[in-house]
Amino acid sequence: MVDVNSALDEAGLTNPRVREYVAEWAAITQPDRVEVVDAADDARLVQEALDAGELLPAGEGRYYSRSYFKDTARSEERTVVATSTEDDKGVYNNWKPAAEMTELLTDRMRGASAGKTMYVIPYLMAPPGSPLTPYAAGVELTDSRPVVLHMIRMSRVGASYVNELEDPNSFVRAVHVTGDLENLGQGTPDDQRYFATVADERTILHFGSSYGGNALLGKIAHGLRQACYDGRASGVFLAEQFMLLGITDKETGKRWHICGGFPSASGKTNLAMTLAPDALGDRYHVEFYGDDIAWLWVNPDDGRVYGMNPEFGVFGVAKDTNEKTNPTALESIGDGSGVIFTNVAYNEQTHEVWWEGMTKSPPADVTGWQDWKGELISERAADDTSPWAHPNSRFTTTLDNVPNVAADFEDPAGVPIDAIIFGGRTSDREPLVRAITDLAEGVYDGLTLGAEATFAAEGVDGQLRYDPMSMRPFMAYGEGDYAAHWLKIIGAATDRPIFAHVNWFQRGEDGHFRWPGYRENLRALLWLARFKDGDVTGRQTPVGVLPTVEELELEGVEITPEDLEIILTIDNERWRQEMGFREAHLKAFDRLPEEIWEAHRRVSAALDAEA
Ligand code: OXD
Ligand code: MN
């Protein structure tokens, strides 16, 4: 039996509840060794991973890893939220009874780390000193060294984060066991994987993957699912899949902070890391806080909603990241950044990396290039057009590598939130930006957020795949209760943020994008900030307030008058069709607050009145 106590003593891990938990799980998973991790161990662990071939060099202070080829993405079908009360069942959370999942996963994990090291990762999902600390501490146990290296980049890691807890029991128990990846039947009826958040026990049990989204338990399982549940159970906060940025007007010194949710493939990371467009760069400075998670709460001192990014790093999608779409991301993964690339293409001779969309075409000289599976490009069949990098390949880098990271990104007080935005991906109907001043209408807008199905076969033409608040895969309890919790938290603020819906993706009949997008998107946010401050008035429509052409700062934008008019107009007929889809979508939710139904009926009636 492995000597757990000596390992914990050696690392100075004194929290008695954590010690019991580590001992309990070491007895179940039966590793050969136990090692407690601190962020200061990174260089040694990187070297060990290089020696073991788990990492390959990818330039100065840059690393490359591959995951097992059937283990490259989150698995929503195998992910569940378990509690002991069926009231927590929602449409999207794959609810299961806690006792059933705990027993099943304990069985799968029994003896499954034999021959391996169990790494004990004490972590904090918050800037140290945050008022949300009681919900932010956790201890991940993992048998994968690459997972440790990712956790060091994505969260704050060290024994002090759990030794100093006011309540020694207030940490999330997060157990990750990789399992025998080659024999787990991924995607078959005999799939052995299970990823469970036993939310009312603050315990996360993930078996059968070492891919980040399934295995970095601080990030998605704790930072989103567990925190979503804790936010409601405590009545204190919201945990959302939101980006967070700041804008400063250098002329007036005004600062705004904007957070918001976007369904995947709607440009959330690019917006989070955006810079001001060239024509406005002298006047506005944009700062990055976070690209994926924000926790929001009300500060009783000033009655405002505050927000913070609980993460320490970025786990970004590599595909299509380039000088135009996201130059700051490219800078954040340069030499000496410590970045870890996963499943991009790799050149075994030059140690370069490449992914689709990084440059217009792949490197012309294919010598030494391997695709994400490690197969030589030079040996591919002539008709093989499969991508070099996996579409979900990633880069993992710390926030402080992002060149425009805000100076106060680690301020435990968080930042006051001026606006909460929802951004769909729709080729028609949704204007560039519409501001929503009413709380219930704002929450209603978030609940009906969606993106167009990528393939016609996925849905009826024009119908969205709804993704409430962009939390569809991370909801921890029922959607009606979730809406009520939003109304309660934001409703408790006396000085509230404004809501808005944005859409960068309207297209003309010939398929061209009507709005240039990328850095120009800042112009919509600037209008919103000015509208909130009462500096512009916009134009009221049934679905919110739209900018007038004169109010948008358009200096340097290339857009035709026709496109501009269309992205600042409401297509009443399309909207009335959408209201029918929304009604069916909302009806599926239990206990949806009457305020949300009233908001739905108000918007419907206003559209009918204008028809
Ligand atoms: C996700 C992620 O899967 O952020 O949403 O990785
Ligand atoms: Mn995400």
Confidence at residue 456, expressed as pLDDT on a 0 to 100 scale: 45
Confidence at residue 264, expressed as pLDDT on a 0 to 100 scale: 83
Confidence at residue 524, expressed as pLDDT on a 0 to 100 scale: 98
**Could you report the per-residue pLDDT of 197-228, keeping only the tens digit for each?**
999 999 999 999 999 999 999 999 999 999 99
Judge whether residue 73 has pLDDT over 50. yes
Average of pLDDT values for 506-521? 96
CB of 157 within 8 A of CB of 219?
A: no
Using the mean position of ligand 2's atoms as its centre, give its distance from the Cα of residue 602 in Å.
Answer: 32
The tokens describing 514, both together, are 């009507």
Which of these, 190, 174, 150, 180, lies nearest to 71 by C-alpha position? 180
Using the mean position of ligand 1's atoms as its centre, give its distance from the Cα of residue 73 in Å.
Answer: 9
CB of 480 within 8 A of CB of 458?
A: no
Which of these, 240, 67, 223, 77, lies nearest to 154 by C-alpha position? 223
In our burial notation (b when 16+ CB lie closer than 10 A, e otherwise), range 274-302 reads: bbbbeebeeebbbbbbbbbbbbbbbeeee
Confidence at residue 401, expressed as pLDDT on a 0 to 100 scale: 98
CB of 365 within 8 A of CB of 375?
A: no
Ligand 1 contact, 223 CB (< 6 A): no
Strand 156-157 and strand 194-198: the pairing is unpaired
Average of pLDDT values for 229-242? 98
The residue written with tokens 């030589």 in the block is 376
**Nearest 10 degrees: Cα torsion 369, 372, 374, 376:** -40
- Among protein residues, the one whose CA lies closest to atom 1 of ligand 1: 213
Confidence at residue 454, expressed as pLDDT on a 0 to 100 scale: 61
Confidence at residue 288, expressed as pLDDT on a 0 to 100 scale: 98
Calpha distance 441→386 (Å, rounded): 44
**Could you report the per-residue pLDDT of 282-309, keeping only the tens digit for each?**
999 999 999 999 999 999 999 999 999 9
CA distances from 533 to 146, 307, 536 (A): 47, 19, 8
Using the mean position of ligand 1's atoms as its centre, give its distance from the Cα of residue 267 in Å.
Answer: 13
Rounded CA Rg of the chain: 24
The proportion of the chain whose per-residue pLDDT surpasses 70, expressed as a percent, equals 99
Reported confidence tier of residue 611, pLDDT bands at 50, 70, 90: confident
Which of these, 211, 235, 170, 196, lies nearest to 69 by C-alpha position? 211
Out of 220, 309, 396, give the residue to mutate to test ligand 1, the one with the largest number of ligand atoms within 8 Å of its CB.
220
Nearest ligand (C-alpha, residue 75): 1
Reported confidence tier of residue 457, pLDDT bands at 50, 70, 90: very low
Calpha distance 356→343 (Å, rounded): 12
Calpha distance 106→102 (Å, rounded): 6
Out of 79, 224, 264, give the residue to mutate to test ligand 1, the one with the largest number of ligand atoms within 8 Å of its CB.
264
Judge whether residue 239 has pLDDT over 80. yes
DSSP, collapsed to helix, strand or coil, labels residue 69 as: coil
Nearby residues of 223 by Cβ (< 8 Å), 6 or more positions away: 125, 239, 293, 310, 311
Q: Starting at the earlier edge strand, list the strands of the sheet with 255-261.
A: 284-290, 243-249, 255-261, 419-423, 498-502, 433-436, 544-546, 539-541
Confidence at residue 460, expressed as pLDDT on a 0 to 100 scale: 60
Using the mean position of ligand 2's atoms as its centre, give its distance from the Cα of residue 315 in Å.
Answer: 8
Which of these, 502, 498, 526, lies nearest to 250 by C-alpha position? 526
CA distances from 422 to 28, 486, 501 (A): 44, 14, 5
Calpha distance 363→352 (Å, rounded): 10
pTM of the model: 0.97
**Could you report the per-residue pLDDT of 459-475, keeping only the tens digit for each?**
566 788 999 999 999 99
Ligand 1 contact, 211 CB (< 6 A): no
Average of pLDDT values for 133-162? 98
Average of pLDDT values for 60-77? 96
Ligand 1 contact, 313 CB (< 6 A): no
Average of pLDDT values for 421-442? 95
Q: Which atom of ligand 1 is nearest to the CA of 213?
A: 6
Q: Starting at the earlier edge strand, list the strands of the sheet with 237-240.
A: 237-240, 294-299, 304-308, 415-416
Calpha distance 77→165 (Å, rounded): 35
CB of 441 within 8 A of CB of 599?
A: yes
In our burial notation (b when 16+ CB lie closer than 10 A, e otherwise), range 501-532 reads: bbbbbbeeeeeeebbeebbbbbbbbbbbbbbb
Q: Which atom of ligand 1 is nearest to the CA of 315?
A: 6
Judge whether residue 554 has pLDDT over 50. yes
Ligand 1 contact, 504 CB (< 6 A): no
User: How many C-beta atoms lie closer than 10 Å to residue 16's C-beta?
Assistant: 10
Ligand 1 contact, 74 CB (< 6 A): yes
The tokens describing 117, both together, are 């090291």
CB of 281 within 8 A of CB of 526?
A: no
Using the mean position of ligand 1's atoms as its centre, give its distance from the Cα of residue 292 in Å.
Answer: 7
Calpha distance 398→497 (Å, rounded): 29
Ligand 1 contact, 497 CB (< 6 A): no
Confidence at residue 455, expressed as pLDDT on a 0 to 100 scale: 52
Q: Which atom of ligand 1 is nearest to the CA of 317?
A: 6
**Could you report the per-residue pLDDT of 333-353, keeping only the tens digit for each?**
999 999 999 999 999 999 999
- Among protein residues, the one whose CA lies closest to atom 4 of ligand 1: 292
Which of these, 170, 205, 127, 135, lies nearest to 405 by C-alpha position? 127
Three-state SS string over 516-570 comes to CCHHHHHHHHHHHHHHHCCCCCCEEECCEEECCHHHCCCCCCCCCHHHHHHHCCC
Nearby residues of 599 by Cβ (< 8 Å), 6 or more positions away: 438, 440, 441, 443, 444
Residues making up the chain, counted from first to last: 611
Reported confidence tier of residue 268, pLDDT bands at 50, 70, 90: very high
